[in-house]
Amino acid sequence: GAVVSQHPSRVICKSGTSVKIECRSLDFQATTMFWYRQFPKQSLMLMATSNEGSKATYEQGVEKDKFLINHASLTLSTLTVTSAHPEDSSFYICSALSYEQYFGPGTRLTVT
């Protein structure tokens, strides 16, 4: 089956620094990838839709200048959390679209 990986699986960073999360489709190409955020014991909330070769589409209330998304190839999308703050601590999950959405294992971000 289709596999999506994320790196890193866990990251701890200091407040004010930036952190990059990678999402890769390992055995298929994905024109579209999605980035979700999940707070503890809550549902997945879509942050943005990432399309290869074009600008990402952000959901209402998501700051595009804070959450930078780059989808430079058909197998890689990156999410950079800039100037991270403790309230950005969350579980970030990507998915890649190929007939259905295949989800990555998630990245646990902790901002201290």
Partner 1 sequence: GENVEQHPSTLSVQEGDSAVIKCTYSDSASNYFPWYKQELGKGPQLIIDIRSNVGEKKDQRIAVTLNKTAKHFSLHITETQPEDSAVYFCAASIDFGNEKLTFGTGTRLTIIP
Please compute, for residue 51, the number of CA atoms within 13 A of its CA located in the half-sphere on the CB side.
5
What does the block give as tokens for 9?
A: 């699986």
Smallest distance, Å, CB 56 to partner 1? 12
CB-wise, 67 or 106, nearer to partner 1?
106
Q: Does 99 help bind partner 1 (rule: CB under 8 A)?
A: yes
CB-wise, 32 or 82, nearer to partner 1?
32
What does the block give as tokens for 16?
A: 């004010």
CB-wise, 46 or 76, nearer to partner 1?
46
Whether 110 and 39 have beta carbons less than 8 Å apart is answered as no
Query: 75, 104, 109, 111: which one contacts partner 1 (CB under 8 A)?
Result: 104
Contacts of partner 1 in 22-81 (CB under 8 A): 32, 34, 42-46, 49
Cα 33 to Cα 71, 72, 95, 101, 110, distances in angstroms: 8, 11, 5, 8, 23
Q: Does 97 help bind partner 1 (rule: CB under 8 A)?
A: yes
Q: How far apart are CA 24 and CA 36, in angstroms?
A: 15
Q: Does 100 help bind partner 1 (rule: CB under 8 A)?
A: yes
